[in-house]
Structure 1
Amino acid sequence: MTYRLKFRGCIGLLLVSLCAVGLIQPEPHPFENEIRAFEKADSASPPLKNPIVFTGSSSIRLWENVNDYFPGKPVLPRGFGGSQLTDVLYYADRAIVAYHPKQVVLYAGENDVAAGKTGQETYERFVALFEHVRQKLPTVSFAFIALKPSPSRRKFFPEMDVANRLIKDYLAKQKNTDFIDIRPVMLGKNGQPVGILFKADSLHMLPEGYNRWAGVVRPYLK
């Protein structure tokens, strides 16, 4: 047993040493390629100054032609699909702060709950992200889009409700923030998600879903 532990320890040290001298490249953080693609696009065509950065998970990434929904607003889409709040925090300096935005519009947290995090934990992740952004950009306007009622994630609705409530209450105590509740326009009279707003996976939205979102989000944009 002692021999095995020593052997494993030697292998571990060898791998660390090889990484240090560049012979083995460590696995990049998830979504690194997407962030680099943003940076490459910025180099080729610099974005407008002080934009409204839309960031977060696939509900932002898959919002096609998002600028067309908000004419006259300098919307800059910087969502990366499948991301959790911890991923947005990891890339916050490159995907948010680097643009010196006048406003941040965030949709993230649904994947956190689906991955097993409680509403409380999801809220705590959000606070960590919010505080990081506000530390770097003290006066930036910050809007959070409520976690949506995706039919495929019904079993997570209770925890999502907890996360939404905690985040809403938290933002109500902060300056220059908004909680954008898109849930009412996504629910039918029976209180259930409107199925025609979603793709076949019952998770990602069709254009009609985004049309409804846009009607709710538009008045909050700076």
Structure 2
Amino acid sequence: MKRLSWLAFGLISLLAAASTHADSAPPSHWQPDIAAFVAADHEHPPAQHGVLFIGSSSIQFWKSLAQDFPGVPVINRGFGGSALPDSTYYADRIVWPYQPRLIVMYAGDNDINDGATPEQVLASFQQFVARAREGVPGVPIVYISIKPSLARLSLWPRMKTANDEIRDWAATQKNVRFVDIAPEMLDAQGKPRPELFRPDGLHMLPAGYALWIATLKPVLAAYGFVVKPHA
């Protein structure tokens, strides 16, 4: 019964999101970023069947990704400022060609900042899952929770609600996993830890990524990607 309720809710959410974005122009302002990815793929084709990291600037700025997960074939396709529908729109160019065995996504932060409701964020993530699997059937997808940050502290209640809704939906799905990084990024008073962030209060320092790495290593291992010890 619970599964049927979630299926109904998911259908309603998808319809609502489709209605919300029906009159929106394609995200053409991202075309230079996507073109750069396509050109890089042509010049240096990335390994197939690896782990695709995709989403917004927290992924884009993760320059040490390959060093942080040695032995794991990783691809970084983050583009700063993007929202969930942007990754969905361009999935045929920055998801499907790699035929990843696992997708790790961080997105939703900018959606909330741009005025999306938690329900719209959930619906947008559902659309991404569906779109990604059109080209990579059944691919497992890991969603990194929206992070608490100093710069967007006033938005944290809405972000937390979006996290909760995605967590609940993911629990009803096959091979969709929610990874909550928020508890490690909050102090004893429930505030974002300043030492994890750059001066802008939004993007992370290596100390922030270190928490993500520690959380994700066992998740990658669960999908058959074992991180080698650092030399």
Give the TM-score of the pair, scaled to structure 2: 0.82
Q: Distance in 1 between matches of 2:59 and 2:66?
A: 12
- Structure 2, gaps ≥5 residues long: 1-25, 224-231
Classify the secondary structure of the residue corresponding to 1:30. Answer: helix
Q: Distance in 2 between matches of 1:49 and 1:129?
A: 20
- Code of the aligned partner of 2:191: Q
Moved more, 203-212 or 170-179: 170-179
Provide, for residues 127-171 of structure 1, a one-character-per-residue CA deviation record: whole Å limited to 9, x for no partner. 111111123322211100000001111111111111101111111
- Code of the aligned partner of 1:161: K
**Higher Cα radius of gyration:** 1
Tell me the CA shift for residue 199 of structure 1: 0.5
Aligned to 1:19: none
Q: Distance in 1 between matches of 2:91 and 2:27?
A: 16
Aligned to 1:207: 206
Q: Is 1:106 matched with 2:101? A: no
Q: Distance in 2 between matches of 1:148 and 1:32?
A: 27
Provide, for residues 41-76 of structure 1, a one-character-per-residue CA deviation record: whole Å limited to 9, x for no partner. 111111111111000000000011211111111111
Classify the secondary structure of the residue corresponding to 1:55. Answer: strand
Query: Once superposed, what is the RMSD of the aligned Cα atoms?
Result: 1.5
Tell me the CA shift for residue 106 of structure 1: 0.3
Asked if the contact 1:178–1:220 (Cα under 8 Å) also holds between the matched residues in 2, the reply is no
Tell me the CA shift for residue 28 of structure 1: 7.4
Q: Distance in 2 between matches of 1:152 and 1:88?
A: 23
Moved more, 61-70 or 27-36: 27-36
Q: Distance in 2 between matches of 1:177 and 1:130?
A: 8
User: After the TM superposition, which parts of structure 1 deviate over 6 Å for at least 4 consecutive aligned residues?
Assistant: none
Q: Which protein has greater RCO, CA pairs closer than 8 Å, 6+ apart?
A: 2
Q: Identity percentage over the alignment?
A: 42
Aligned to 1:15: none
Q: How does 1:66-215 map to 2 (within 5 A)?
A: 66-215=65-214
Q: Is 1:218 matched with 2:226? A: no
